[in-house]
A and B are shown apart, each in its own frame.
Chain A
Amino acid sequence: MTVIVSLGKFLGWIGFLTLFHSAYSTYEHLSYLKAVEKIPNEMPIEITVECLISIVIFAISIIMVAGPLKPILMKDEMTKKTIDKVDIRPNFNTFNHRCRSMRSLVN
């Protein structure tokens, strides 16, 4: 499991770097266009693709880093319990509990 988690973290860093790189490229490109006084009409397709790829890389890394989902049905939980935990032996059953005093108080 921890192999997947550390691989996920590594992928996360790669995704972050890719995102940062695409952000910087966009900024540089826009500065260039503003300097040349051209209207920013077209963004190079590579930057857009790089941005989207970084999202995908990040998504995969987050899925790897996040823990597994646990099953919620009580049925599945009960399959993991041994009979000793669930069905108490009659040896250790106490009958001398406070219900006796409650019953006498009520009646």
Chain B
Amino acid sequence: MSHQVLSTLAESQSLYLDPAIRDWVLIPIMVVMVLVGVLRDQITVLLGGGASTKKATLKAIRESKVLMRGAALRNYGNHIPPSSFLNRKNYLTNAYKKGDYLKNPASMNQTVNPMTDPQGMEMMMEGMKKNIAMIIPQTVIMGWINFFFSGFVLIKLPFPLTLRFKSMLQRGVETPDMDVTWVSSLSWYFLNLFGLRSIFTLLLGEDNAADGMREMTAMSQMTASPTGQPQDFHKLHLAESENLELTPHSWELNDIEHRLLSRYGKREQQKVIDSPENFIENNEKNAIEATSSSSEHKGKNRRKSGKH
């Protein structure tokens, strides 16, 4: 295999590059991108520490947390018996509709104006500040690379690409005949951008802010929904109450006696739930059997049915 591979090397080695390019462009760009990523992460940690000291009022926190309560009821409602579930459901839907948990119940039907609400403004500025702090280093580095390192071929890509990429990857060098595999420094920047993400996860642990991709997706989401930060909680509450009304409920512990007994081998697994009288009779019968059987027998049954 090494023979085949290296013969393709020989035919395509048509360009000889100065090692100075490697020393002064290839490695520095990579080093700069790694360092800037680490720097961004540390700065985000610093900034994040500052923002968390702002205190929110009790009513504002209650507004958002009560939505989580509704979501918890929807997700885990099957763990509690039907009566408890119905109690909570009715109470919460009534509270949502009457606006009991809103910060200022008087403004229930007005549309929220982000300019006048001071706390909403603060939240929006926070988010925008973070986004800008992320995007700026990327654009600065791209400008720096375009300014200083354009007009020459940097490296050969080991894999072939179609001709469409030629204009994008060979920005400064307009030669119509050259292989698409010879690329300029801008494409090396893009390659680094994608490739260093997992290295950052290695170096900085999870949830690091050196990731360019996450903010780009977050940016695109924010432009899609312009009423971002000062959310209209009344609408959210109403939506949550509708969701709650639609949730079905089936108690998971309904036949727990069945399941427990059949797991320990005291009772065959039945697909159909018996009628109440047979249920009680069967239970008594099995209970009598259980107490009279020897411990060996119990152990054997447990082992038989315990393997899942």
- A contact set with B: CB distance below 8 Å: 39-43, 45, 48, 99, 102-103, 105-106
**A-B pairs, 3 with minimum CB distance:** A102-B91, A106-B90, A39-B10
On chain B, the number of residues with a Cβ less than 8 Å from chain A's Cβ atoms is 12
Partner of A43, one of B2, B84, B87: B2
Partner of A105, one of B2, B9, B91: B91
A106 to B86, CA, bound (A): 10
Interface status of B15 (Cβ within 8 A of chain A): no
Interface status of B106 (Cβ within 8 A of chain A): no
Interface status of B243 (Cβ within 8 A of chain A): no
A71 to nearest B CB, angstroms?
14
Interface status of B201 (Cβ within 8 A of chain A): no
Which residues 1-46 of B sit at the A interface, judged by CB distance below 8 A?
A: 2-3, 6-7, 9-10
Contacts of A39 in B (CB 8 A): 7, 10
Partner of A40, one of B9, B87, B88: B9
Chain A residue with the shortest CB-CB distance to B10: A39
Partner of B10, one of A41, A43, A48, A102: A41
CB-based contact B3/A40 at 8 Å: no
Chain A residue with the shortest CB-CB distance to B84: A99
Given A39-B7, A40-B10, A41-B3, 13 more A-B residue pairs with CB atoms under 8 Å apart are A39-B10, A40-B6, A41-B7, A41-B10, A42-B2, A42-B3, A48-B2, A99-B84, A99-B87, A102-B87, A102-B88, A105-B91, A105-B94
CB-based contact A43/B6 at 8 Å: yes
Contacts of B91 in A (CB 8 A): 102, 105-106
A41 to nearest B CB, angstroms?
6
Listed by A's residue number, 7 A-B pairs whose Cβ atoms lie within 8 Å are A40-B9, A41-B3, A99-B87, A102-B88, A105-B94, A106-B90, A106-B94
Given contacts A105-B94, A106-B94, contact A42 B88 (CB under 8 A): no
A38 to nearest B CB, angstroms?
10
CB-based contact A41/B90 at 8 Å: no
